[in-house]
Every structure is written in C-alpha cells, then in structure tokens.
C-alpha cells in the first residue's frame, strides 16, 4: 500500500465518524458492528499474507521384505554336539547281535 491509499482510507473513516456523531444510538451500534467486521476481515487477510505457507511432505515407508534363511548344513567332519543334533536311526535298521560269551575267569564254577 502506498501513502495515497492510506490517506483515502483515513478520509473515509473520518467521514464515517462525522456521520456517526449526528446519528442516533442504534445507528452508532450498527456502524461499530460494520467497522468491527471489516477490521476482523482485514486482520485475517493480513495474517494469511504474513504467515509462511507450510508445505506438507508425504513420507512413504516401505516394509522390509522377509528374507528366507537357508538352513545351516552341518559338516560331516564334525561330530554332533548335543543329543538333538544326533541323527535318528529307525528301529528296522538295527539288527540284533548275538550275545557275547563271558570270559574264562568270569564263568561260574562247575
């Protein structure tokens, strides 16, 4: 705004003030209400001009893909460390063995 615009606004307000002095009380109340509404709209417009524009930034977050891990393969050179690591032998694969005869010094007397 330049000085000429401000001067025009000041003259208009002086004219309104001069006519409000000659008016009755109800007219004065209406004039004040109009001036108040005008000033509120000017204040809102000025606030919008002063406030910086905020830009919203959209952040996309991607879910991590589930990576399937390969089962560990134990080397055949190393023995199993726990009982659960031992291989299971089926019962059909176990063959019965013949009993071992006792040693000569362990035989009962006759």
- Report the pLDDT value the prediction gives residue 108, as an integer from 0 to 100: 65
Structure tokens at 33: 């209400």
| pLDDT level of residue 85 (50, 70, 90 thresholds) | low
pTM of the model: 0.37
- Report the pLDDT value the prediction gives residue 83, as an integer from 0 to 100: 63
Write down the domain spans for the chain.
3-50
Q: pLDDT, tens digit, for every residue of 6-40?
A: 899 889 888 888 888 888 888 888 888 888 888 88
Q: pLDDT, tens digit, for every residue of 37-82?
A: 888 888 888 888 887 777 888 888 877 777 787 777 766 666 656 6
Average per-residue pLDDT for the chain? 79
């Amino acid at each position: 705004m330049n000085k000429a615009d401000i001067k025009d606004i000041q003259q208009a307000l002086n004219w309104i003030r001069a006519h409000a002095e000659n008016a009755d009380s109800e007219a004065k109340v209406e004039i004040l209400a109009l001036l108040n509404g005008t000033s509120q709209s000017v204040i809102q417009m000025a606030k919008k001009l002063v406030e910086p524009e905020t830009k919203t930034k959209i952040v996309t977050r991607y879910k991590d893909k589930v990576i399937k891990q390969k089962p560990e393969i134990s080397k055949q050179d190393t023995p199993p460390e726990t009982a659960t690591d031992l291989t299971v032998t089926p019962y059909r694969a176990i063959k019965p063995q013949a009993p071992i005869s006792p040693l000569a010094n362990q035989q009962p007397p006759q």
